[in-house]
Every structure is written in C-alpha cells, then in structure tokens.
Amino acid sequence: MQHHTIAILDDDHVIRLARYALSRPPEVSDEWVKSYFSPEPSNPSDIYAAGRGLHESDGISVTPVGATLDEIRQSNPSVIIFRRGVVNAELLAACPHLKLVQRIGGLTEGIDIEAARHRGIHVSCMPRMTLIYTAEHAIMMMLALAKQLVRADTQIRSGQWHRDLVIPTDSVAYNWTGYSGLSGLYGKTLGIIGLGEVGSIMAGIANGFGMKVVYFNRTQLSAYREQALGVIYAERDKLLAQSDYVSVNASNLPANRGMFNMDMFKTMKPTAFFVNTSRGKLVNEDDLYTAVTNGLIAGAGLDVHWEEPREAGDILYNLPNVIMTPHFAGGTRFGVLDELKAIFDNCRSVLSGGLPTHAK
C-alpha cells in the first residue's frame, strides 16, 4: 500500500469538518459534528464515510492543526487542502511529492499557478455552491426590500388595503395596496464592503442586473482584477455615501466586531438599504434599529444576527422595512458536506493517477 499525506493548511468550521471526514481527530468530536448540522439530523459515521479511500487504513495521514512549513515539508504531502492563505513557490518547492493543490473555493488568489505548472502539480479551485447561494440571497434581499415584498405579501393575505380607493379597470387593480417608493436594482449602486469570494460572486450578479458596483477592501485589487469583476474601488465613507444598497461581507475578526455602527449608518443615504449575510457580530443592532426608525436609512435585510436564534419580542421584529431570515442564505448545512465530497473526489482521482475537476 502506497502511503500519502494530506496537508491541511488553515482552520475553520469547514476545515474542521474536512478533518473529521478524513481522520476523526480528537479535537473534533461527534458532538461537535451533530451540533454543526443541528437542527438537521446527522450521523457522524456518515460524515466520516465521506472520506472513504482517504483514511489512515487506506494509507493516508493528515497533518495536524497548525503545522509549520518545516513540519509540512517533513510530512512530504501529496495533497494540500486549504481555504485561505498562500501557497507560494517556497511552499511548493518544500513538497517534492506534491500532486494536488486543492482550494475549497473558486478564487485563485494566493496560489502561484505558474510555479505549480512548472512542477507538474495540479491546482483545483472548487467553487462553493453555499457561497454562490449566499450571494444570491443577498441580491434577493435587495430586491425584496426594493419591492416591499414581505409587507405586500402580508397585506394581500390579510386583506389590508383601502377598498374604497381601489377602482379596478377591466379587472386590473395596479398596486392596490397603494405603496409608494417602489424601485428595483437596475441603474442603482451596490457598495460591497469586503470583496472576497461571496462579494465577487455578488458583484457578477449585480452587474447582470445593470447595477454599478463599488467596493472597499483593506487591500485594493489589481486593475486587471477590478476590470474582470466589473467593480470600482472607493474609500469606505465614499462608498457609503453613494450606494443605494450596502452589503457587508467583511471577515469575522475581533477587530470587526460591531464595525457597522451609527457613524457608518449616518454616512449612508436615507434612501439606501443595508444587507448583512456575513456574520451578525459585525453589526451593532441597537444602532441599526435607531438608524431605521429615525430614517437614516430606508431599511435592512439580515440573514445573520448578533444572537442566534433571535429572542421573541426583539426590537427589530416590528419594523416592516427590516426583513430577516434564520442564517440559511448558504442553504442546508449538508451543502458544505457536498462541497467536501467533491474535494475528496479530486483527491482520490489525482492520487490514483487521474485529473481533478476545476483545474487551473
């Protein structure tokens, strides 16, 4: 039996699930797996089975969490799996038996593609459907806010409209709920704070709607990348001041806790909408409530929340121009497992002499 090592470079909930499926490490328990998928029922044995053919009994070992470059070099991996970080020429040179660099995600940034090609190493960047769904969800929320969708649906179902003011013509009663300020996305400006993978996907969808897309990042993209994505860089406050829709997609770092606060809401246009499908702790919800109720912004769409689940009677519940979903923009949790299964299929293929999907 030929022995292979899989080096996993970074650590987050997706990577932890991958580690569990490959090696059931002690730091990832069955209870963590059940909690991760809850309230959807899950069987940890089924998760582990997703890594079939890549277990220790198959001659595969997995590098430990936080392995250094020297430790990775000593392990002589055949496969590198990662989400974020850098796989540069130095790392590639340190792994002479490397066959596959596998990113969990579609972006190629941080990978020295040319150095990998020179060494005959396959590179695959696997698009994540959960991230595509998240970007779609954010756009959906923008449309729902522009069209006052939730409020309109509620009023139609409950029959709450001025019947004496509605005079149908040929059985047509246009806008019988009498809403004003209805709009859409075409010709509007979308401001994206944090243009990572979700933000990049969102920019492509927004361009399809005929929107102007501006973005703010800690590091500005190259001119080539900006042109490819159809985006324009703007400093944060300039982005906020010109955008009709603002989507926050920043990293969930301690430094970003409560980053969207009253100062930022005050900088937005009173006709603008705010959308968060990233992490709830990025937004000061008391300030959001004040901003919406005082007309500093037109409304908000939240898929993620400061506390999850939200408590009954929450201050945002009675605001008709705030729409909320229960942190499911990316779809079911089992979508992450489907993504990992595709990653493992690539590993099995390359280790048996085949080719990966989504090769670069």
Verify whether residue 151 is a known catalytic residue: no
Helix (H, G, I), strand (E, B) or coil at 164: coil
Candidates 114, 157, 218, 308; catalytic one: 308
Greatest pairwise CA separation for the chain in angstroms: 82
Give the separation between CA 248 and CA 259, rounded to whole angstroms.
Answer: 10
Candidates 24, 103, 137, 279; catalytic one: 279
Give the separation between CA 224 and CA 231, rounded to whole angstroms.
Answer: 11
- Yes or no: say if 356 and 102 are a contact pair by the CB < 8 Å rule: yes
Q: What's the count of helices (H) and strands (E) in the chain, helices before strands?
A: 14, 12
Verify whether residue 279 is a known catalytic residue: yes
- Yes or no: say if 8 and 19 are a contact pair by the CB < 8 Å rule: yes
Give the separation between CA 314 and CA 317, rounded to whole angstroms.
Answer: 6
Verify whether residue 128 is a known catalytic residue: no
Neighbouring CB atoms inside 10 A of 226's CB total: 17
Classify the C-alpha dihedral 336-342-344-347 as positive or negative.
Answer: negative
Tokens at 165, concatenated: 């003011």
Helix (H, G, I), strand (E, B) or coil at 234: coil
Query: Phi, psi at residue 101, to the nearest 5°?
Result: -105, 115
Candidates 73, 119, 236, 327; catalytic one: 327
Residues labelled catalytic? 279, 308, 327
